[in-house]
A and B are shown apart, each in its own frame.
Chain A
């Protein structure tokens, strides 16, 4: 089912946690709410689940306005950050809980629970209590418990936080495949951009209770609309320049800009460095070299507010630059740079 979140605002006391959040998710898509802690992403997810009610705005699921509906009438699956399994019920009864509540017949409970346990690979653990399971197993049970009711919407609150790094990567891919296979619309909350890029069709970057920008992961990477989005997704070199006659100069490249000052967002792979310092160009000095195998990441001191990061492809046998080397920087593709007006916001 498609989900529309329309100008949702929420205050806790005097503190604004959500202000005018709007985003739409087409049926079958996966949306990530990405942002630093305290940005309101969990509050928004909980509002969609019905655990809190927005002060203003509306939430529609499959066209139905559910803004004031209690959580038990929303037909939405929810996976909690720490899974919130029922410790007094074994794995089987955790998974069958939702069916039990609905008064589904015993035969059907058995077959549907079995199928779900099988799907998440937990059949052999059906008799265990949650306290006897590892983090990854608990997460599988939590997902099975939410999915057994065949919800058309699945909400996940930082579901991979409690897992170690290796398992996290595997589970992210598994979850994405599962959600796609079951044709569910899913929204999940994360503060980890790699997780968001792995899982989602659409990203919504949140900051200070607002959705700063939403779109496909690559659209946000290529065309960030704010400095926050640029800095939050991927690595961004922020190059500040004074505007002269409607343009800013970065080395030999001219980019059109408005206002008196402007900031160009240049991704690390969009900068080319050549050894030696040419007279008039954008110059710098290598301060750190990070050989990562297929690519090399250089940190440069280039007279900007922050060190400039450059990523270069590497072929076997290439000579690397060394710290202390003087280099000349140039923008590869001016069209791939984003120019932001420097206003009051950071």
Chain B
């Protein structure tokens, strides 16, 4: 131990004795309160929860003392788990793709706007975040709901349809809710890449004979991939783990992995089963977000090349 701090790794200890906190030391000190807060109130409870997945609990008591992987094995061999997991994944992917499609034009318009319009658009984008997601989800029930929902009553009054459309309690309702609620998390990173872009590159493409559309797909879009990757990570993680929207807009029978965690822990009080799914949800979410970022980094490898 003494050897290690002394002679071997010369840089860090020497820097410290001179009173230079170094690039990491200085920022770590100022992060201590936040880290302590997170550690005590997030990491430790999360650790407890995840540890339940390896134990058998009945009526609030740990039954067998030895940790086991049995619960994981049972869950992973259960077809129903895979159906639910696949739905969670699918909802997350579709929401993310739709968010990119809807957010891009908004971010684009923002980047082309001048003067007083910019803060207005920005406020409109951020404003939904000021209300609770639960309230907004309920609002969607009012809009999408049965015979007297806004959409159905309008379409029926216009005589376009005879019977109310079934939107609420379907995949479509869940996706609509996910996209609307998570859209700002895609728009904001896209705004940051599109607004700061060098327009001369697009002009260069035009001068080389490309049309505006070709220029968009060959220059503007590839250069905005860092923003798309950042937004996609956020939106996927949020959609994949959201349990309020599938619960309220999907109807009672619409189950996702996140919703199962909630039901096992809060409703059924089977903490082991809940913890198993929470662990799997967390790990798979990390894995997919990591994959999105790896793909983004691979695609934008020219950024690394410049350093």
Q: Which residues of A are interface residues toward B (Cβ below 8 A)?
A: 49-51, 70-72, 74-78, 80-82, 84-90, 97-98, 101-102, 128-132, 145-146, 149
Contact = CB atoms under 8 A, between A and B. Distances in A.
A84 B204 contact: yes
B302 A72 contact: no
Interface stretch (B36-44, B45-53, B188-196, B209-217): B209-217
B208 interface: yes
A86 B205 CA distance: 9
B198 interface: yes
B80 interface: no
5 contacts: A50-B206, A72-B210, A80-B204, A101-B210, A149-B209
Given A72-B211, A101-B214, A86 B219 contact: yes
Contact of A78 (B198, B203, B214, B305): B203
A84 B214 contact: no
Interface string B166-190: 0000000000000000000000000
B300 A88 contact: yes
Given A129-B305, A131-B302, A98 B203 contact: no
Contacts of B206: 50-51, 70-72
Contact of A129 (B214, B223, B302): B302
A314 B192 CA distance: 61
Among B208, B300, B303, the most chain A Cβ lie within 10 Å of the Cβ of: B208
B107 to A, nearest CB: 19
A78 B203 CA distance: 9
B302 A88 contact: yes
A70 B201 CA distance: 16
B302 A51 contact: no
Among B198, B209, B223, B305, the most chain A Cβ lie within 10 Å of the Cβ of: B209
The 9 residue pairs across chains A and B that have the minimum distance between CB atoms:
A131-B306, A84-B200, A98-B208, A129-B305, A78-B207, A84-B204, A71-B206, A129-B302, A101-B210
Given A131-B302, A132-B306, A101 B203 contact: no
Contacts of B300: 88
Contact of B305 (A75, A128, A146): A128
A149 B208 contact: yes
Contacts of B214: 101
B222 interface: yes
Contacts of A102: 209
Contact of A72 (B209, B219, B223): B209
Contacts, number: 83
A98 B209 contact: yes
A80 B307 CA distance: 23
Contacts of A90: 302
Specify the main secondary structure of chain A where it touches its partner: loop
Contacts of A77: 207
Contacts of A145: 204, 208
Nearest to B207: A78
A131 B203 contact: no
A85 B209 CA distance: 15
Interface in B57-90: none
A74 B207 CA distance: 8
Contacts of A101: 205, 208-210, 214, 218
Contacts of A97: 205, 208, 210, 218
Given A72-B211, A86-B219, A102-B209, A78 B306 contact: no
A86 B202 CA distance: 9
A82 B206 CA distance: 16
A82 B200 contact: yes
Among A86, A102, A128, the most chain B Cβ lie within 10 Å of the Cβ of: A86
A103 to B, nearest CB: 10
Given A87-B303, A129-B305, 18 more contacts: A71-B203, A80-B203, A82-B198, A84-B198, A84-B201, A85-B204, A86-B219, A97-B205, A97-B218, A101-B205, A101-B208, A101-B214, A101-B218, A128-B305, A130-B306, A145-B204, A146-B208, A149-B208
Contacts of B307: 131
Nearest to B204: A84
Interface in B200-245: 200-201, 203-211, 214, 218-219, 222-223
Contacts of A84: 198, 200-201, 203-204
Nearest to A87: B302
A71 B205 CA distance: 9
Nearest to A46: B203
A87 B208 contact: no
B207 A87 contact: no
Contacts of A76: 207
A80 B211 CA distance: 19
Contacts of A128: 305
B203 A51 contact: yes
B306 A72 contact: no
Contact of A80 (B200, B223, B305): B200
A4 to B, nearest CB: 20
A74 to B, nearest CB: 8
